[in-house]
Amino acid sequence: MERPLRVPPTAGIATKSWEKFGEIIVVESKQEMSTIANDLAFEHVQIMTSDEDFFLRTCKTPAHCSWAREPT
């Protein structure tokens, strides 16, 4: 996480936020991740998946989710 936090103009704020609130959650299944994302309902959620369609169908607030096949 250090490299991406150095880039934006808000790097200082982003770094403090990540240190205080950041979290990486590893799960066993897509359904488990969908449940966790919906339970947490954070404003910004990045889900790393090869099945974006599943999360578009199951995420209650897909506008707040971003999808990635690899870490950003």
User: Quick one: DSSP state of residue 1?
Assistant: -
Per-residue tokens: 68: 């990635």
Can 28 be counted among the known catalytic residues?
Answer: no
CA-based nearest residue to 63, from 49, 43, 35, 48: 43
Catalytic option among 44, 52, 64, 70: 44
Catalytic option among 19, 43, 52, 70: 43
Could you tell me if 64 and 42 are in contact, meaning their C-beta atoms sit under 8 angstroms apart?
Answer: yes
Can 43 be counted among the known catalytic residues?
Answer: yes
User: Quick one: DSSP state of residue 60?
Assistant: S
Residues taking part in catalysis: 43-44
